[in-house]
């Protein structure tokens, strides 16, 4: 079926608008789109989106993570194997994290990472045929915000929710940060790490994040107020 931008797309549909633009200029087609012969076909169910000038993708609901280069992810160390750690990132296979890719790590000075620790890391290599590789430093050798996350709680959610709360225009974290102090790290692989002063506050952050999935901006704000009220009512 022929569809246009903003429509709900199903696998097998095609979009002629993209081809028309492609004749004049270069077009970037993102996830869920595939060029086959002279048409652009949709391969995932979702909403066809466009970003000016000419980037197209399908916004689909997904829980399975497919590694891609440069994304910040949250993983769990599952194994120490010689000089690398194997990290479960929720993909089809585990990712490798070298012990040298921590800030200030040398052969003598190994970082303290235990099996079962949660790490916030960047995808360095993500190709179809190779094991993904992670690093916990940036190109200057500084750790920034990456590294092992201690305490707190990790939970899984859909990839869409991560993109939603990381969107600068999303009011969720804006309105939550005024209510009570907490830390949050969102990995593009559908995992969120949260930490607050008390257990109840940590649960409240998780509740707010998961609750925001199907709400619009206004509803998110009222939900945040509600949660803050519940929390305050119990603490005092």
Partner 1 sequence: MKEVFLSNCEKSFIQKIISEGHRLDGRNYNESRKLNITFGSQYGSCIVSLGETKILSQVSCEVVQPKQIRPNEGILYINVEISPMAAPQFEANRQTDLTVYLNRLLEKCYKDSKCIDLESLCIVVEEKVWSLRVDIKVLNHDGNLIECASIATLASLAHFKRPDVTRSGEKVIIHTLTEKDPIPTVLYHYPVCSTFAIFNNNILISDPSFIEESVCTSSISSEEGNISGGLLVVGMNQYKELCLLNLTGAAIYNSSIVHRAILSAADKCKSIVDLVKKTIISDDNLRQKRVKINFGDIITSDHVQSLSRKDLSICLKNFDLNEKTSPKDEVMMDDESDVELEPSKYDVVPSLPQTAEIKAKKGASTWIEISSDSEED
User: Measured between alpha carbons, how far is 189 from 14 in angstroms, rounded to an integer?
Assistant: 28
User: Measured between alpha carbons, how far is 25 from 49 in angstroms, rounded to an integer?
Assistant: 18
- CB within 8 Å of 220: residues ≥ 6 apart: 170, 171, 172, 175, 212
Site for partner 1 in 82-101 (CB under 8 A): 88
Residue 53 engages partner 1 in binding (rule: CB under 8 A): no
User: Measured between alpha carbons, how far is 47 from 50 in angstroms, rounded to an integer?
Assistant: 10
Site for partner 1 in 139-158 (CB under 8 A): 149-155
Residue 76 engages partner 1 in binding (rule: CB under 8 A): yes
- Nearer to partner 1 by Cβ, of 64 and 110: the residue is 64
Site for partner 1 in 184-213 (CB under 8 A): 193, 199-200, 202-204, 206-207, 210-211, 213
User: Tokens 């169910």 belong to which residue?
Assistant: 45
In the complex, what is the shortest distance from the CB of residue 160 to partner 1, in angstroms, rounded to a whole number? 10
Residue 4 engages partner 1 in binding (rule: CB under 8 A): no
User: Measured between alpha carbons, how far is 103 from 143 in angstroms, rounded to an integer?
Assistant: 5
- Can you tell me whether residue 1 is helix, strand or coil? coil
- CB within 8 Å of 48: residues ≥ 6 apart: 3, 4, 5, 6, 7, 9, 15, 42, 56, 57, 58, 59
- Nearer to partner 1 by Cβ, of 27 and 173: the residue is 173
- Can you tell me whether residue 207 is helix, strand or coil? helix
In the complex, what is the shortest distance from the CB of residue 168 to partner 1, in angstroms, rounded to a whole number? 24
Give the binding-site size for partner 1 (rule: CB under 8 A).
34
Among 118, 173, 176, 188, binds partner 1 (CB under 8 A): 118
In the complex, what is the shortest distance from the CB of residue 227 to partner 1, in angstroms, rounded to a whole number? 7
The residues of the shown chain that bind partner 1, judged by CB under 8 A, are 61, 64, 76, 78, 88, 114, 116-118, 149-155, 193, 199-200, 202-204, 206-207, 210-211, 213-214, 226-227, 230-231, 233-234
């Amino acid at each position: 079926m022929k569809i246009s931008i903003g429509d709900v797309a199903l696998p097998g549909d095609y979009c002629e608008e993209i081809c028309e633009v492609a004749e004049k200029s270069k077009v970037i087609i993102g996830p869920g789109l595939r060029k086959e012969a002279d048409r652009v076909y949709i391969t995932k169910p979702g909403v066809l989106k466009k970003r000016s000038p000419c980037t197209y993708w399908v916004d689909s609901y997904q829980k399975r993570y497919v590694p891609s280069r440069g994304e910040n992810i949250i993983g769990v160390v599952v194994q120490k194997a010689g000089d690398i750690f194997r990290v479960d990132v929720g993909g089809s296979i585990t990712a490798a994290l070298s012990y040298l890719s921590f800030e200030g790590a040398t052969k003598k000075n190994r970082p303290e990472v235990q099996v079962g620790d949660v790490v916030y890391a960047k995808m360095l290599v993500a190709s179809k045929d190779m094991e993904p590789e992670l690093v916990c430093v940036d190109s200057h050798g500084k750790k920034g915000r990456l590294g092992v996350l201690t305490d707190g709680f990790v939970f899984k959610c859909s990839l869409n929710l991560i993109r939603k709360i990381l969107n600068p225009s999303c009011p969720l974290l804006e309105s939550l940060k005024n209510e009570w102090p907490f830390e949050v790290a969102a990995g593009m692989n559908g995992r969120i790490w949260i930490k607050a002063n008390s257990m109840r506050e940590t649960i409240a952050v998780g509740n707010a994040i998961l609750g925001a999935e199907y709400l619009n901006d206004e509803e998110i704000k009222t939900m945040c107020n509600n949660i803050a009220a519940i929390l305050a009512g119990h603490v005092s």
